[in-house]
Structure 1
Amino acid sequence: MTVEASIFALLSPLVGGRVFPDVAPFDTPRPYATYQQIGGLVIRPLAKEVPNKQNGFFQVAVWSDRRSAADALALQIEAAFITATAFDAKPMAGPVSTNDADLSRYGKQQDFSIWSDR
C-alpha cells in the first residue's frame, strides 16, 4: 500500500470518507480533509542501492462549517497520525487555523513528517 493510500485509510473514518489529494471537488459536503506532499527528506546511501524506506512531508487540512468542529477534527487527525501503525508520523509544528469567507468554511492544517516503506 502506498503512503497516500495509508493516509486515505487513516483519515476516512474521521470525515465520512471525504478525503482528497490536493483539493476537494467544489461541492464536497463538509467536513472533509485534503492532503498533499510538500517535500521530504532523501536517504543518500554511500553504495548505489535504493533504500527500502522513504520520507515525505505531508500537509493535512480539514474543512468544516464551524471553527469548533474544524478544531476538534484537527485534534483527532493529529492523534491518528501519531498512533498510526502503517507508517511513522511526527507533527512538524502545531496546527494553523484558516478560513474561506467566500464559502463560509473554517479550516485547520498541520504538517507531518512521515516515514514509510518504499
Structure 2
Amino acid sequence: MEIFIFTIGAAIYLVAVNLLIKGHKSLNLRFGWPTPSGLANNAICYFFFAVFICAVIPFAFFFPLWLNTVAPILQSTQTNRALLILAGGIVLSLAMWLNYKKTKQGSFNNGL
C-alpha cells in the first residue's frame, strides 16, 4: 500500500511542478517579461519571481523527501535523503528546461 501511495504522490508531484512552472511562465509573459514596460509590470514580475523562489523551489526540492516520510519506500539514511533532494532538483531543472526551451525568455532562448 505504501508503494501505491508513493507512486500516486510522485505523479501528483510531477504534474504540480510542471503546472507551477507553466503558471510562472504564463504570468511573466502576461506582464511582458523579459522587457516589462512600466513600473507596475516590473514590480509584478519581480513579485512573481520572489514567490517562485520562496514557494516553488523549496516545494520542488523537498517534496520527495516529505513523501518518503509519509510513505516510506527508502530507508531513512543520510544518503537516501540526499538522493531524494537531488531528485527534486533534477525534476525542477528538467521541468524548467522543458517549459522554457521554446520561448525567448531567460537563458533558455538559444535552444539548449
**Is TM > 0.5 for Structure 1 vs Structure 2?**
no
Higher RCO (CA < 8 A, seq sep 6+)? 2
Q: Of Structure 1 and Structure 2, which has the larger fraction of its residues in strand? A: 1
Q: Of Structure 1 and Structure 2, which has the larger fraction of its residues in helix? A: 2
